[in-house]
Every structure is written in structure tokens, then in C-alpha cells.
Structure 1
């Protein structure tokens, strides 16, 4: 299913035209000004215009239009974090709902607000039923209210664990938008909520389709502000999964610099941290995770994986255990469990890894290819650690095939590294090196420095004698070890109680003695020749 071709709307031009004559506008023109101001991010004008439209509609005796203005005022203020004003307008709306009861449009909006209040109270089962009733009341009466009600029902069902029913609601939402039954005012919030729900579920395939269509919709709204940040962030998430890391980093960084809404901003900082992490920029990653955490965003498993790259395995494990106790969304729990498998195996705790893989298997029982691939990958790693090489080979080949179907080059490359290990365990060193070479090509193209470091350690011939130390002093060996594990000069200085200037001098001497041009080249040389510790 694809969205209808979006008509281009010049919200900036419409806003400029209406605001120039604001003092003489009637109720419906004021409502239109409020909408144009909302789309272009002029929050003060939006609130002022909708307040005036609300009072003008009341004076004109148009109760249903007044109720609708109150709804959008409350919705918009709530989106911008003004809970007090938002609550006041919702209370006003409910009072008017009683006053104008019997009008179909008023009854539909009132029902939607009651459902939303119950959802925010935490009673997701009851709210799902109320949302369903609101959707039925709005059917044929108000398409915007209907789509928001169906969206709310889907979100509540998914939170209640009724995943398939919730996804069915989300598909209805997208069908309503695609067939042109919903205005742009209702389409934006619905798009963003549906895609967020799909990503939280781990439905990468659907999310990729709807993210593309959301981008087309955003591009058709000239001057658009409210959904631009979320649209860009969803796109960055999908781009990272597809291996477009540079473009994804630029997109996430842009959202971090311009977004105002707390939830979106927290998610953007986490995404930026993830992109820094996979490319080996530990300090920027830690900074981004700290910013995300300050905004209330959970920063696991990303933070744990930064600690894993630095060899701080106990710290990584503690963070994963803490986050696992509170995680609810399927994709988040699955990613935490996969990270737990990686960290457990690095800690040589095979039983912990097996437990995490078994729990992950439960999430993969459905039809989502992403979760099945993640589970097969985890099971294959555990089987490899337990010496079940044939089982590991089968599981990892299945995971690799799934990652390829999902167009996920990074995950596919990591799986090939594990497949190479199974070949080596079977005595096929040539086959192992072929797998390592294929993975290396992809990881180098992506710039996945920490994983390249791990790959070089694995690919090196374990039986070869270490090369001479190239004249490195004991202190230079210490510095090289930390460089190879992704530490910045500042972090090395802190750990060795040196100044950054002294560390920089050591790094320069190391590069000269090894005859290599860069830190990454020194890292590869060090692992290849056994000059650094394995973890």
C-alpha cells in the first residue's frame, strides 16, 4: 500500500496571508490561521488564533467547532510540555461536551478525550475499549478524530500485549491516510505514532515503508515544523539499519540541534550516541548518552556496548541487568538481551548468555524477521561458545540470510565473522579467512572501528609467535593497549594519571616506531602482532 500522491501545501504562504489580516478574520479563518501557525511552528500565534476562534465559535453558537478548537489547543499545548494549560483546555472541552451532548462531532471528540485521559492514567485495557468506542462515534462524522482514536486503540492494545490486534489498528490508520480520508492536521500525529510503535515492536520492514511515505508527506508540507524532527529521526533510524551511517549521523545531529520536544530530543541524542558508538567514537557517544539520559531516555543497551568496547565488562553487565528489569517494548527487550549475550560471552559466562538467548527466542516466535534474525544470531553465538559447531553454523547461516533480506549490512557482516569462527573450529582455516575477508570489506566501508578491532583479533593466527615489540617502552605498550580499545587521549590520560600532552607525545612515538600513519592502523597492527591484551 502506498500513500496517495501528496498535494503540496504552502503553509508559510498561507500563514503570512492570514496573519496580515488577523484582526478582521472570522471564526473559520482564525481556525485556519491557528492550523497554519501550528504547521509552521509559530506557537504563540497558534495559541492566540485558536483561542479567538474558540470564543468566536461559541458566540456564533457553533458548539462542535468550539469543542474542536479546544481539543487542538489542548493537544498542541500538551505536545509542547505545557501540561497545566493543556489540562485546562481538556477540562473545558469535557464541560462543553456535556453542554452540547447529542451533537455527533462533539460526542466523538469528547469520547476521544475521555479515552486519552484513561490511557494517560495507565489503564491501557480500559482505554483500548474507550478508543474503539470513540472511533465508532467518529466514523462518518470526523475523519481526524476517527484516525486518532484508532491510533490510540492500537497503541493501547500493543502496550497491553495484544500485539497483532494493535498492529491491525495501525494498518487501518495508514489505510485511512493513504486513501485520503484524513486531513493533514490529523495525518502528522498519526504517522509519527504508528512508525514509533512499529519500531518499538521491531517491525523494521513496515517501519521502513511508512518512514519513506512520512518523508514524502513532510516534503509536501512547505514550512512544516511540528513533525519534521520526528520524521527526520525515524529516517535516521532506518538509514542506520540500512548502513547509511554518515547520512544518519547528519540527520540525528540536526534533530539534536533544532528539536524542542523532550521525547523526540532524547531519542535523537540516543540515536546520535549509537552512531558514534558503532564508529568507535567513544567520548562523543558517552556525551550523547548522557544528554539522552538527562532527558529521561533509557540509554541501554548502547551505553553497555561502549563499556564492552573499552573492556569494562562488569560495568556493561550491570547496566544491562538494571535496564532489563524495566524494559517493556519488544524491540528494546530483544536488543538488551542480544547485548547481554555478547557481554556474557566476553565475560566467559556461558550460562548467562544461554539464558539471555533463550528469553530472546521467546520474542522471536512471531512473524517479525528482525527479531528472528536477532535470535538466530544469538543462538548461534551461544552454540559456538558451547562447542556445538554444526548447530552454530546452521543458526548463523539462517541469521545471515535474514539480515540480507532485511538489507542490514552491519548485522550481516558481524554474523559472517561468527560463521568464520565456526569454519575455523571445523578445521577449515581457508574458509574462515574468506568469511573474515568478506566481513572486513563491509565493516571497513561502514567505518565500524570497534568491530574491525575485534575482527582482526579473531582473524589473527592464534598459533603465531608474537612479533617483537618494535622498541616500544612499557609505558608506550600501555598507551597502545588503550588506543587499541578505543580510548581517547583524554581518557588515556585519566586512566594512566598523565597529562593529555604526554599522552599525545606517546601516541606520536608509537606511530613512528610501528611505521603506521594513524591510530586505527596502529590498532590493527597491535592486534595482528599480539602487542595488546585481548579484552
Structure 2
């Protein structure tokens, strides 16, 4: 379903036209200048224009229009963290709404602001009532902007009040309101971003993917757009990463890092960069990006713990997660912390801790009941079952997780789950079935360039395998590559022969040199001949 038309709005051009005549603008034109200035990132001009516009409207006797300008002044100041001035303008708004000339239109705005205030004070249940009142009054006054923002607020309040099912339905309602074309761009932008942020934070990837696509189309249609461009791009990066589009996700996140000014968005962008660097086997770059995110106030778990795990520091990995499990509150991040706790506890051989973290994760998945959380939980339960010596019981859990990742089109998570399925099958004596799972996972992980996960796969595949040969843990693919290296073949020729990319072959060669402890291809060739691993042996 398309949410809005894709006609381009040239905010830069409109801003330049109106700013050139600012001194002579009427109330409506000043309001429009405020909106255009806000869209192109000229907040100083936007605030000045709305201040003047609200006074002009009051002179003209248009109280509803004056209230609208004051609302956007307070809203934008609040978005920039200027609580003092935002509060002053919201006080002015309440004073205007209490005047005898107030109308149903101002009643809706007043109720909306009351809802915002209650929510900010942590009074979720009270804000639910206030937002419903705002929606009713705004709809009665045919004020689509106020009704849409109140519906957005209602969704967030329902989530905070533990009513996830109602909240997700309410977020769908926000998008349907935008779809009818009566919501202005200045209300549509904040609504899009707030809804998608809430969905991603609760692990509702299915809805987030749909609405992120719509947000991207909307952003692309706003020429000169500044307030939502970074956040929109970062949402895209998150969805692209889950979908296996890692180069595109990395490029998008790097773009936000280079251009974003908002501290929270910038911190989240650096964390996204770090996560992609970690999964691609670039620990130094990951560590640097995590430092940047932490310096901006971002909690860097579970990324830092997973980096420690990748580099073999299980003690450091576990220490970081212990605090995060007690402090992280948003469900998606908490579920990722708990999933990481399961993996690291199992790596440490602590099945009891893994079982405890998996139980917490299951509770989170039950509460919010999204496909993403169910996939994480089923995989964790399956891996704990394997560690408990129950591989037969693990298989239905792992296959349910794999089905969830397939439905979400999440190839990385699906591949990791197939590795665990392979481990369970081998424990049941089905070596051929296990190899098929390992091969399928290997192909995906090689294509993604998931170096640490490939290393874990090869360790899992070689554990208990027979006929490996006298080599220090080389995978089957690495033995194939080493045999061809021993023939003197170039990476390009090996890639063509094995139907791999040159980059994948280069990674294999690097891994082989590291595992053999030799400095060069010629030394690896000598090792291959000495230990019967060369071509023809």
C-alpha cells in the first residue's frame, strides 16, 4: 500500500523565496516560512518566523492559527532538547487555549500537549486517556495533523503501558491517517520517525520494514530536507543489515556519521557502523566506532561483548553483559543482549546461565510477540537444548527459528540457525544431514563476508568430523583452497575454479596462513606438501 504521493516538494526553493521577502510577509506566509526553514535545517529562521506569525494571527483574530504556530515552536524546541524554552512556549499555548475565543480546534491541541506532558512524566496510563481525548477533539475539528500526532503518541503510550498488541494496531492507524493525504508534511515527518523508532525498539521488523520503505519515499520527495534525513537513513541501514544488504547498510550508516548533527542519531549511527564492522571481521574499526558511540552517550552493548567474543575474550564479553542485562530496557536491545548472553554463556560452558538468559528472552518474546523476537528466542532455546544433551528436542525449536528468519528475509540469522541445526543433526548421528546444513550456512556467510561467524562455523563443522587430515583446524573449503595454492594458482584462478569471489578466496588464504602459522603462500605450499595436503595427495 502506498502511503503518499511522490510529488517533489522543493523546500530549499520555497525557503529562499520567502526569506527574501520576510519583512513583508503576512501571517500565512510567515507560517509557511517557518515550515520551510525547519525542513531545510534553519531552525533560527523557523523560530523567528513562527513567533512573528503567531502575533500576526492574534492581531487578525485567528486564535487557532496562532496556537498552531506556538505548538510547532514548542515541539521543535523540545525535539532539540531545549526544555526551558519549549516549556515556556507550551505554557504560552495553554494560556492561549484558555481564552474565551478558544475553539474545538484549539481544544484538540491543548489535549495533545497535555498527553505529551503526562507521557514525559512517565504517566503512561494517564497519557493514554489524554491522547484519546485529543484524537476525538481533533477529528471533530477536522484537524488531521493534531489527530495524527495524538495517534502517534497514543501508540507510544500503549507500549509503555504494556499493551503491545493495541500499540502496534495504533501505529498502523498512524500510517493510514497519513495515507489519506490530509496530513501536512510537517506532521507526517515526526509521525513516520516516531512510529518506526518504536517498532524497531520492540522488534517488530515486519512493520518497520514496510514503513521504512514509505518513509524513504517521503524523504526522497522532500528536496532540501534536513530534520529527518539522518534518522530516515539510519532506519534504512538497520533494515538493510537484517536483510543481508551489508555494503548498502554500511554506506548508509557512514553517510549519517559524516553529516548528522543530532547527538542521539549520530551515536546510533556509529553503533551501527561498529556492528557491521564486527560482523565483517574488522575488530579495530569496530572498536573505534564503539568508542565514538560511547563518547556520545550510547550504550554499546551487546556489540562490545560480541566483539570480545569474536576475539576470544569470553571473560570480558561476559562482564559487559552482566550490567547490560540489568539496565537495558527497550525490548529489541534487551532481547539482543539476552541472545548474546546465551551464546557467550554456552561458549564458556555455563549452561545454567545460558538457560537463565534464554528464559528471560522467552518472556520478552511472549510479551511483545513479534516474529523477530520469536526467532531469537526459539534459536536460543534450541541451542540450550543441544548443550543439555537434547538434540532431538532442539530440532523443532531451531527449525521454527529458521522459518521465522526466512519469513523476515534475514539471511545472516537464518544461516547461524542452520549451523545450530547441523550441530544437532550430527549429535543425532546424521552426519550427511549435518554437512548439508553446514554447507548451506557456509555459502550464505561467505557471501555476506561474515568472517567471525565463518570461523565459528568451521570450528563447529570440524568438531567430531573424521578424516580431516594433519592440519590445524582447516575447514574443508580451506583445504580445497590450500591444495590449489600448492599448485601455484592465483586467487583469481582459484575463484573461477571454485565459483567464489576473489575476495572470498583472499579471506580463505589469509585464514590458512594464520592457522598454519606461516608468513607466505610459498610457506603454505611447503606445509601442504609436507603434510599431504597438496593437490594430488
Q: TM-score range by the shorter chain?
A: 0.7 to 0.9
- Report the counterpart of residue 450 of structure 2 in structure 1: 448
Counterpart CA distance in 1 for 2:383 and 2:429 is: 18
Mapped contact 2:516–2:524 kept (Cα < 8 A): no
1:202: which partner in 2? 203
Tell me, yes or no, if structure 1 residue 422 matches structure 2 residue 430.
no
Distance 1:468 1:237, change over 3 A: closer
Aligned residue pair count: 484
Q: CA–CA distance in 2 between the matches of 1:67 and 1:15?
A: 22
Q: How does 1:177-196 map to 2 (within 5 A)?
A: 177-196=178-197
Equivalence for 1:487: none
Distance between the aligned counterparts of 2:282 and 2:39, measured in 1?
Answer: 36
- TM-score (normalizing by structure 2): 0.86
> What residue in structure 2 maps to residue 486 of structure 1?
none
Query: 1:402: which partner in 2?
Result: 404
1:182-211 Cα distance to aligned partner (Å, 9 max, x none): 111110000001111111111111110000
- 1:132 is matched with 132
State the alpha-carbon separation in 2 of the partners of residues 115 and 514 from structure 1: 71
Residue 355 of structure 1, CA deviation = 1.4
Structure 2 distance, partners of 1:469, 1:250, is 34
1:397–1:30: structure 2 CA closer, same or farther, 3 Å change rule?
same
Please list every run of at least 4 consecutive aligned residues from structure 1 whose deviation after the TM superposition is greater than 3 angstroms: 461-470, 506-510, 513-517
How far 1:335 moved relative to its partner? 1.4
Alignment of 1:96-495 (within 5 A): 96-100=96-100, 102-141=102-141, 142-365=143-366, 367-460=369-462, 462=464, 464=468, 466-467=470-471
Q: 1:127 to 1:515 in 2, by over 3 A?
A: farther
8 Å contact from structure 2 (residues 200, 332) kept in 1: yes
Counterpart check, 1:510 vs 2:479: no
Partner Cα distance (1:291, 1:98) in 2: 47
Q: Deviations over 1:473-524 (max 9, x none)?
A: xxxxxxxxxxxxxxxxxxxxxxxxxxxxxxxxx999833277469xxxx9xx
Instruction: Give, in whole Å, the separation in 2 of the partners of 1:509 and 1:102.
Output: 80
Q: 1:196 to 1:514 in 2, by over 3 A?
A: farther
CA distance in 1, matches of 2:99, 2:268: 41
1:526 paired residue number: none
Aligned CA-pair RMSD: 2.3
Please say if 1:21 is aligned against 2:21: yes
* TM-score (ref. length: structure 1): 0.86
Counterpart residue number, 1:53? 53
For 1:158, what is the secondary structure of its paired residue? helix
In structure 2, distance between residues paired with 1:50 and 1:183: 16
Q: How big is each residue's C-alpha offset from its partner over 1:272-323, in whole Å with a ceiling of 9 and x where there is no partner? A: 1111111111122222222222323222111111111112212212222211
For 1:87-102, what aligned pairs fall within 5 Å after superposition? 87-100=87-100, 102=102
The one-character-per-residue Cα deviations of 1:54-76 (angstroms, maximum 9, x if unpaired) are 22122222222111111101111
For residues 360 and 391 of structure 2, the distance between their equivalents in structure 1, rounded to whole angstroms, comes to 22
Given that residues 199 and 207 in structure 2 are in contact (C-alpha distance below 8 angstroms), is that contact kept between their aligned partners in structure 1? yes
Does the 8 A contact of 2:19 with 2:33 survive in 1? yes
Deviations 1:129-183 (A, max 9, x none): 1111111111142111111111111101101211112112211111100121311
Kept in 2: contact 1:63–1:100 (CA 8 A): no
The Cα shift of 1:367 comes to 4.3
Which residue pairs with 1:484 in the alignment? none
Contact 1:100 1:106 in 2 (8 A): no
Structure 2, unaligned runs of 5 or more: 475-513, 528-532
Displacement of 1:218: 0.9
Q: After superposition, what is the alpha-carbon deviation per residue over 1:343-385, rounded to whole angstroms, capped at 9, x for unaligned?
A: 1101100011111112222233364221111111111111111
Contact 2:462–2:473 under 8 Å retained in 1: no
Greater displacement, 45-54 / 427-436: 427-436
Unaligned runs of 5+ in 1: 471-505, 523-528, 530-535
- Equivalents in 2 of 1:101, 1:132: separation in Å? 24
